Structure 1
Amino acid sequence: MTARVLFLSEGSSDQGLVAHVEGIAADLGTQVTVSAPDLRWLRSSVGHSVADKLRTARELGATYDLAVVQRDADRGSPDIRKAEIAEAVSETWPDLRHVPVVPVRMLEAWLLLDEQALREVAGNPRGRIPLELPKAAAVERIADPKQRLKDTLAKASGCKGRRLAELQQRFPRNRHRLLDLLDRHGSVSEVPSWQAFVADLSAALRGL
Structure 2
Amino acid sequence: MILRYTLVADGSSDQLLMHVIDWLIAFHRPDLAVTGSFARDLGRVGSRLSDRLPAALTLYPCDMLFVHRDTEGVAIAERVREIDEAARPLHSHWVPVVPARMTEAWLLSDEIAIRAVAENKYGHVRLDLPPKREWETVINPKQVLFDALVLASGKTRRAQARFSLPKARAMVAAWTTDFSPLRGLASFDALETSLLNVLMDF
What is the rounded CA distance, in whole Å, between the counterparts of 1:111 and 1:5 in structure 2? 22
The question of 1:139 aligning with 2:122 is answered no
Cα distance in 1 for residues equivalent to 2:61 and 2:122? 47
Amino acid at match of 1:125: K
Partner residue, 2:56:
57
Q: Does 1:99 align with 2:95?
A: yes
Give the C-alpha shift of residue 185 in structure 1. 4.3
Correspondence 1:157 to 2:160: no
CA contact (8 A) 2:7 2:37 kept: yes
Corresponding residue for 1:39?
A: 40
> Is the counterpart of residue 198 in structure 1 residue 189 in structure 2?
no
TM-score of the aligned structures, taking structure 2 as reference length: 0.87
Q: Which residue of 2 aligns with 1:123?
A: 119
Call closer, same or farther: CA 1:184–1:125 in 2, change over 3 Å. closer
Structure 1 equivalent of residue 68 of structure 2: 70
**Distance (whole Å) between structure 1 residues aligned to residue 19 and residue 115 of structure 2:** 22
Amino acid in structure 1 at the alignment position of 2:6: L
Number of aligned positions between the proteins: 201
Identity percentage over the alignment?
A: 32
TM-score (norm 1): 0.85
SS of 1:21's partner is helix
| Alignment gaps of 5+ in structure 1 | none
Asked if the contact 2:71/2:99 (under 8 Å) is kept, the reply is yes
C-alpha RMSD of matched pairs (Å): 2.1
Q: Which deviations, in whole Å up to 9, do the C-alpha atoms of 1:3-50 show, x marking residues without a partner?
A: 33222222222223324323322333352543424432xx44233332
Q: What residue is the counterpart of 2:182 in the other structure?
A: 188
CA deviation vs aligned residue, 1:46-99 (integer Å, no higher than 9, x gap): 333322221112333x643321111111221111111111122145x1x43211
Q: Equivalents in 1 of 2:183, 2:32: separation in Å? A: 22
